Amino acid sequence: MRVLAAMSGGVDSAVAAARAVEAGHEVVGVHLALSRAGGTLRTGSRGCCTVEDAMDARRVADKIGIPFYVWDFSERFRDDVIDDFIAEYSAGRTPNPCMRCNEKIKFQALLERALELGFDAICTGHYATLVDGDEGLELHRSSEEAKDQSYVLGVLTAEQLRHTMFPLGETPSKAIVRREAEERGFSVAKKPDSYDICFIPDGDTRGYLAEKVGAATGDIVDRSGEVVGSHEGAHAFTVGQRKGLAIGRPASDGKPRFVLEIRPVSNEVVVGPKEALAVAEISGTRYSWAGAAPREDAFRCEVQIRAHADPVPAHAVLADGALVITPDAPLDGVATGQTAVVYVGTRVLGQCTIDRTVSAVPVDPQPVSA
């Protein structure tokens, strides 16, 4: 097969490309330039897709003897990932830009161009596996739970799975991948993993949003609507946050308050007790299936709401154009804008962007005045 290897400049994609070559495929390496800031450089393990990463990817491609190109996807990345990130925060939601990048860039824009150029598949260094099922290809967790990346791949569609390869999916540990890279003489063998949002390499998300969205003072209120403090920009808060609230008035029970909700229209931040973070139901109208859709509109599953969270047994149902998920035990600190990935065993069934949550703790009724 003709395979386009997406090479980020990290150790995982390097070894994945090398394995694709050894499997007998005709491989071409490509690095995606996602920023037009020519001086963008990596800082330790912060960020990715930098000038340094492109150079690292080229050295690996030369080492394994494959053609290598850098493709400018910066405009598409700005429109589909960065602008979406800013718009979601402006609307009071908490987006996951890595999910959006996988959905719109790595497995849509890249794959579209690869197919146009005559490639059969793209190859990435993600830790996930593909299994031939009764109804087509299925996406499953990798063999290594600690490194499993199937959550961030939950946005893939059946068509995309048919043109995707994950050479690292069966590898038991990242240590094995690093050792293999070292044996192959790759300079990235000991390169640290990237973290944080790639277009905010200094990690200052609050400062970035303040610049892009702008700061506007507003009220911090409790669940009954009583004003308990003020803020200088709702974008600086996330659901579940405890620190940095700067509420001068303590709660009547003396317990700390947590951010429960962000209301962009009224520019209010709602706070309350920790137990009020418990969510009994989530739903989303933007959902998709990673392979064949479920045969029934209602089914048992497990739901995972963060990349490193534990899956929780749940019941899901398709109703009124939305995927509605009711976990057996309440979920903690769920924010709209997050992604809920649905599993059946190790299989990724699909995902939805959460646009509604139902608290497991009702609002205390207000005392009636005499």
- Quote the pLDDT of residue 280: 96
In terms of domains, do 173 and 40 share one? Answer: yes
Whole-number CA gyration radius for the chain? 22
The residue written with tokens 């038991």 in the block is: 172
Catalytic residue among 49, 101, 301, 352: 101
Catalytic residue among 48, 123, 198, 352: 198
Clarify whether residues 105 and 240 are in a common domain.
Answer: no
Number of domains the chain contains: 3
Q: Which helix (H) or strand (E) holds 273?
A: none
> What would the two tokens of residue 213 be?
């969205």
pTM summary value? 0.89
For residue 198, indicate whether it is catalytic. yes
* Structural domain harbouring 85: 2-125+167-183
Give the count of alpha carbons within 13 A of 128, CB side only.
23
- Low-confidence spans in the chain with pLDDT less than 70: 36-49, 145-146, 195, 248, 363-370
Residue 348 lies in a domain: yes
- For residues 189 and 356, give the distance between their C-alpha atoms in angstroms, rounded to a whole number: 43
Does residue 190 fall inside a structural domain? no
Q: How far apart are CA 313 and CA 335, in angstroms?
A: 19
pLDDT of residue 2: 98
Q: Are residues 324 and 342 in the same domain?
A: yes
Q: 221 with 310, same domain?
A: no
The number of beta carbons lying within 10 Å of the beta carbon of residue 297 is 11
Residues 69 and 172 in one domain: yes
Please list, residue by residue across 344-358, b when 16 or more beta carbons sit within 10 angstroms of its beta carbon and e when fewer do: eebbbbbbbbbbebe
Residue 101 appears among annotated catalytic residues: yes
Same domain, 237 and 335: no
> Do 338 and 253 share a structural domain?
no
**Does 348 lie in the same domain as 300?**
yes
pLDDT value of position 52: 87
Question: Are the beta carbons of 242 and 258 closer than 8 angstroms?
Answer: yes
Is the same domain home to 289 and 255? no
pLDDT at 210: 83
Q: What is the pLDDT of residue 254?
A: 76
The CATH number given to whatever domain includes residue 115 is 3.40.50.620
Closest of 34, 31, 1 to residue 14, by C-alpha = 31
- As a whole number of angstroms, the distance between CA 102 and CA 270 comes to 32
Residues 261 and 343 in one domain: no
Question: What is the SS3 assignment for 126?
Answer: coil
199: in domain: no
Answer yes or no: is 52 within a domain: yes
My answer on whether 119 and 19 are in the same domain is yes
pLDDT at res. 361: 83
CATH number at residue 294: 2.40.30.10
Residue 9 inside a domain? The answer is yes
Give the CA distances from residue 210 to residues 19, 89, 200, 204, 236, in Å, rounded to whole numbers and listed in that order: 44, 11, 13, 10, 8
Say if residue 227 is in the same domain as residue 329: no
